[in-house]
Structure 1
Amino acid sequence: MLKLKYPPFSKSKSLKKILIFTLFFWGSTSSFSAQYTEIINSNQPGFSESPYSVGTGIYQFENNFFLRSISLKPDFPSAQYGGVDLQFRTSFLLEKLELNAHLNYQQDRVALEKIYNTGFGSMTVGAKYLVYQPKYTDKTKEIRSWRKRGAFDKKRLLPSVGVSLGMNADFSNKISGATSITPKVGILLQHNLTQNFNIVNNFYYNNIGSDFSEFSHIVTATQSFYNRYSIFFENKTVFEKNQNNINLGLGLAYLYHKDLQINTSGRFLFEGKAQGFYASFGFSYRIDRHQDTYKDLDINGVKPKNKLGFSKRFLRIFKNKNKGLKTKENKKNNFLGIFGKKKKETEVEKLEREIKELEKEMKKEEKKKERQKSNN
């Protein structure tokens, strides 16, 4: 039996500490680099989450099918759980701000009895914000010294910091025993020790203000290789009033496409005196509608000042409003811009399209002439 070294969780003292840390990290300095990546950035198959957002214009779906079994004794019948975890992530306000929703649907089998409970286990709607991201030294520019080029960058010891805030909703079924709506806060840390190895730490305080409040810590180590595969090891510890629950997991993820990831994982569960296992298989997919933003800078890298007169600037306001109305009408035709065009048609693309249309018309006329000749 695994012995737990952690003391029971104290709700009042830990809540104050978490709120203080959250306010501190939210008010610290932040970097202005974008969060968008060329390939999908998924949290699956781990339970932890990185502090980074998916980026504006990204609509990402993370699905995971799972089977869970746990028993008090080896000879004792086990309680089994099966279901699906659904998560949706997007960002359309700021690059560093992500909005997400997590839904769990499962079926429970009660031990000793053939009784099944089916329904929504939990639902969480929240947001996370990247507060700080360190800037690393670009070693590719170092051409004089091989040692300096291969030396470890001490700046990588500084983690990227994010904060999360969410609300848990209970659907009043037999699976979940928490109150109807409870808040959830978290601190997200990620150490990018190398380009292919990182460590993520999450600290959560969940179901605040209810009889089922809990504090949890998740640490995940991920190693990627061959630009396609990544393996991870994870330890999740949940601190409750009467007992502490430990979850040890190992998983594999495969990048099938730049917008599609397939993953699987297995876990050992230690919940008080009970032991069990957890297995999952899932995939993550995103719809990429991201558009990069640009700023006009002069030779010195400074944004040029607007030299227009007051009257011209005043008239320019009404032109911008008319442009805004046109963009709103276009957005109404496409749901959140998901199925819209990414870029406007350029003059070259317009000419190519017109040439193709003329070629199609000429082919149609030739076919008509051939049919007329054959009929005659």
Structure 2
Amino acid sequence: MSRTTPQPPRRRRAAVAAALAVAAPLILAACSDDTAASSDDEAWEPDRDIEWIVPYTPGGGFDTYSRGIAEVMQAGHLPDGVNIVVRNSPPLPQGIASMFNADPDGYTIGILPMPAAIAQEIQEPDLAQWTTSEFTVLGQVDENGYVVYVPDDSEFETIEDLIAAQDIRAITVEEGSSSALAGLATIQALDLDADVTYGAEGSAEVVTAALRGDADFFVYGSTDLVGFVESGDIRPLMYLGTEDQLPDNVDWLQDVPTAEEAGFPDLAGAVTELRVIVAPPDLPEPVAEYLRTALAETMADEEFVTWAEEAGRPIVPRTAEETEANIADQIEQMEELVPQLADG
């Protein structure tokens, strides 16, 4: 596998609140300048509920972040009486298409999984009813490096044990998801003798299947399964993110060998999940700026920072411009990686 470009460094968690406090006024000032330059009839704010689409089932990471943002945003950063209604819309292609093809009026937004969106577009161009690069980007709430996990009672104590094994089984969610991509990249990079079962509905089902013996290992996000690790149900064998992507508030992860340390530098950061907030293409600029401002205010809100800490969900907030750059980088990465995985 050829080397891929790692994602931009993860902000250290201890500095999140300070960084938000600095960034938010700049974002808001820019939005205020744009609004001042517009005529009154161009100004916009919502006067009814906003639908938030999650392309996964309830309870997973994307759903959890969405509901956390929605709770804080509607409580203090939208007009009185305007709520955010979270709608789960699996499977993944259906949810992404729902976000992309909705009316660009500000009343439909959602959380987009990257690189899953671009990977599915590349893999199934005739079926993907969206163009990833055309979404209206509002911001980013998190980026998530991956981990190779095994059940706690597994015979595999190290990643080397897994590499030496034969006829092993992996399990993941639907094909084309970010987790599935990370799993395939891991199998190829480590040359594992592994078969993959697809179709688990979410992280809990993946873990449950492994615990009952239906899989020997699985690849999932570093912040998605904290409770299962801390309870002793599963063990991490190797971290697939870069050193800069290590979340500070996941203590056990600090002692897990990285792909670089294990001798697989090309795997480090090859697949990193971004949780991106988007709206349909061609959203009018006053509407986009209103929503970007509301999102920036929400992620800078002490209530949201506190929610993230209590929920064990690190936040890596980025502006729309920074997020667009991240998406462009991932599109370039996946255009190289996805054909390699298909050939493997």
Could you state the TM-score of these two structures normalised by the residue count of structure 1? 0.26
Larger RCO, structure (CA 8 Å, separation 6 or more): 2
Q: Larger radius of gyration, structure 1 or 2?
A: 1
- More helix by percentage: 2
- More strand by percentage: 1
Could you state the TM-score of these two structures normalised by the residue count of structure 2? 0.28
